[in-house]
């Protein structure tokens, strides 16, 4: 027997103790569809028309989620690609040769990558005392070279929603484009009274990721734009393919992501996602209170993310006990109530927290 043949097949990470991730167990229909379409490449729609048709439907379904009647866009590899593309479109459509992008300091680090690869200046403004973008601070950083203003609908660390309508006004006044990053929040916020989507503000582009709360298989990000002009600004000629242009950042890409996004949305929008949101929110409220009564400082959850100030030693001991945990930049424990997180698993976590206190 060869060494290769005798090697035990490694198991993927079990979700049981994963409290850090914005990804989750795919919906069963999404898992099945991903396997079925594994060998297709939506980057070549003429050769792989079935997956290309599914992708058009996914964009239209995402339009329902974000309240846009006639969206354009595509299934990206994830939020990083979608955010890079938003910056790239804004840069390509603007006249300046010294472009800058303005957003809150709570922006996901994918914008740092965008600024780096696109040679755009990223200007970050402080957030307010509730971790939301401060509109005046954003406005102060805008000038004639600002090509894009960014707002976040569901921040990575605290799940906060920026004042999207006000940020959109500020962008318009400056003749800049406006992008909303709803990579994580997009499948939660439809069930809240937050003002975050195309019905509430003048938005040019949006990121909304099926592979996070959408319960699609990785890689499935969503890049949504209001007009074809945006995609035209991203497209390059593809002389040796039958189709004549490609607007995506990647070339060959996975049909698994596209097909699984289609299956997950078909199975879950809207009732399944509403249920996930309500369950996640109930868990967040309960867990926040459980940590509070144990004497920890908790950042009140607006959406299913809880941040708790715990000592570094405790964080390390809990990691040692097998919990997969994340920290905010301020060092708080951050728990994301994804669909795989249950009351039982959180009760197990709390029991370990109690053991620490008594040891």
49 vs 331 by CB, closer to ligand 0PR: 331
Among 19, 23, 62, 307, interactor with ligand 0PR by CB under 6 A: 23
Q: Provide, rounded to whole angstroms, the least separation between the CB of residue 125 and ligand 0PR.
A: 17
22 vs 267 by CB, closer to ligand 0PR: 22
CB 227 within 8 A of CB 247: no
Distance CA 288, CA 159 (A): 14
Site string for ligand 0PR, 56-95 (x = CB under 6 A): ----------------------xxx--x------------
Helices assigned H by DSSP within the chain? 3-6, 28-36, 49-65, 79-93, 110-118, 135-141, 164-173, 228-234, 255-268, 271-293, 312-320, 343-358
CB 215 within 8 A of CB 268: yes
- Name 63's Cβ contacts closer than 8 Å, sequence gap at least 6: 69, 70, 71, 224
Among 44, 134, 162, 181, interactor with ligand 0PR by CB under 6 A: 181
- How many of the chain's residues bind ligand 0PR (CB under 6 A)? 16
Site string for ligand 0PR, 213-252 (x = CB under 6 A): --------x-------------------------------
Distance CA 150, CA 110 (A): 12
- Name 226's Cβ contacts closer than 8 Å, sequence gap at least 6: 68, 71, 72, 198, 203, 204, 205
User: Does 254 interact with ligand 0PR (rule: CB under 6 A)?
Assistant: no
User: Does 16 interact with ligand 0PR (rule: CB under 6 A)?
Assistant: no
181 vs 290 by CB, closer to ligand 0PR: 181
Among 40, 72, 110, 248, interactor with ligand 0PR by CB under 6 A: 110
Among 131, 184, 277, 349, interactor with ligand 0PR by CB under 6 A: 184
CB 30 within 8 A of CB 347: no
- Name 94's Cβ contacts closer than 8 Å, sequence gap at least 6: 147
C-alpha distances out from residue 340 to 49, 112, 217, 346, Å: 34, 30, 14, 11
Q: Provide, rounded to whole angstroms, the least separation between the CB of residue 221 and ligand 0PR.
A: 5
User: Does 183 interact with ligand 0PR (rule: CB under 6 A)?
Assistant: yes
- Which positions touch ligand 0PR (CB under 6 A)? 21-23, 78-80, 83, 108, 110, 152, 156, 181, 183-184, 209, 221
């Amino acid at each position: 027997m060869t060494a290769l043949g005798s090697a035990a097949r490694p198991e993927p990470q079990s979700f049981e103790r994963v409290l850090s991730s914005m990804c989750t167990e795919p919906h069963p229909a999404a898992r099945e569809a991903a396997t079925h379409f594994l060998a297709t490449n939506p980057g070549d729609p003429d050769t792989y028309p079935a997956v290309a048709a599914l992708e058009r439907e996914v964009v239209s379904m995402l339009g329902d989620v974000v309240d846009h009647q006639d969206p354009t866009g595509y299934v990206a590899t994830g939020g990083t690609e979608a955010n890079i593309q938003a910056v790239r479109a804004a840069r390509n459509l603007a006249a300046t040769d010294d472009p800058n992008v303005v957003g809150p300091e709570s922006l996901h680090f994918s914008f740092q990558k965008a600024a780096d690869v696109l040679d755009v200046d990223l200007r970050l403004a402080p957030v307010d005392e509730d971790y939301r973008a401060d509109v005046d601070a954003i406005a102060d950083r805008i000038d004639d070279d600002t090509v894009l203003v960014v707002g976040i609908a569901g921040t990575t660390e605290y799940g906060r929603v920026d004042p999207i309508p006000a940020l959109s006004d500020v962008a318009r006044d400056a003749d800049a484009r406006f992008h909303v990053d709803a990579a994580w929040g997009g499948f939660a916020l439809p069930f809240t009274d937050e003002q975050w989507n195309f019905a509430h503000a003048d938005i040019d582009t949006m990121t909304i990721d099926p592979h996070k709360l959408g319960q699609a298989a990785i890689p499935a990000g969503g890049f949504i734009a209001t007009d074809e002009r945006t995609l035209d600004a991203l497209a390059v000629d593809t002389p040796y393919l039958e189709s004549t242009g490609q607007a995506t950042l990647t070339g060959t890409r996975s049909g698994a992501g596209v097909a699984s996004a289609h299956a997950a949305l078909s199975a879950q929008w809207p009732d399944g996602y509403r249920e996930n949101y309500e369950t996640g929110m109930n868990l967040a409220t309960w867990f926040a209170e459980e940590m509070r009564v144990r004497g920890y400082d908790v950042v009140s959850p607006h959406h299913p993310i809880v941040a708790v100030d715990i000592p570094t030693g405790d964080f390390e001991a809990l990691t040692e006990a097998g919990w997969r945990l994340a920290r905010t930049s301020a060092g708080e424990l951050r728990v994301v109530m994804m669909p795989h997180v249950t009351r039982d698993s959180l009760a197990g976590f709390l029991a370990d927290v109690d053991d620490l206190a008594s040891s």
